[in-house]
């Protein structure tokens, strides 16, 4: 048998209901992460107002990383379905 036939035979599909639950949990995790990031930025700015620029830079960088992970979960949801 060719390798393509073997790969197609070995392919298993994920239950679409499980994919929905997985993406939902991923979205909740991203939302909690973004909330914690900006909560820390606000708290740090309240304690040390002169560091606001540096804290915002770090906050937006980590925000972008969290959102990339959430978008990756969204793509994997469609690939699994």
- pLDDT average per 10 residues of sequence, the chain (81 residues): 57 67 81 94 96 96 91 78 60
Looking at residue 2, what DSSP letter applies? -
State residue 81's pLDDT score. Answer: 60
Predicted TM-score of the model (pTM): 0.69
Beta carbons of 81 and 22 less than 8 angstroms apart: no
State residue 11's pLDDT score. Answer: 56
Q: Which domain holds residue 56?
A: 38-81
Q: Is residue 8 part of a domain?
A: no
Q: Is residue 24 part of a domain?
A: no
Tokens describing residue 32: 């909690």
Q: How many domains does the chain have?
A: 1
Which residues make Cβ contacts (< 8 Å) with residue 51, sequence separation at least 6?
Answer: 44, 45
């Amino acid at each position: 048998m060719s390798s393509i036939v073997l790969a197609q035979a070995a392919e298993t599909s994920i239950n679409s209901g499980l994919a929905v639950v997985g993406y939902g949990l991923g979205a909740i995790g991203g939302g909690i992460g973004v909330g914690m990031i900006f909560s820390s930025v606000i708290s740090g700015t309240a304690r040390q107002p002169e560091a606001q620029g540096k804290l915002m830079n770090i906050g937006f960088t980590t925000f972008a990383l969290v959102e990339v992970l959430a978008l990756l979960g969204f793509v994997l949801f469609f690939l699994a379905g």
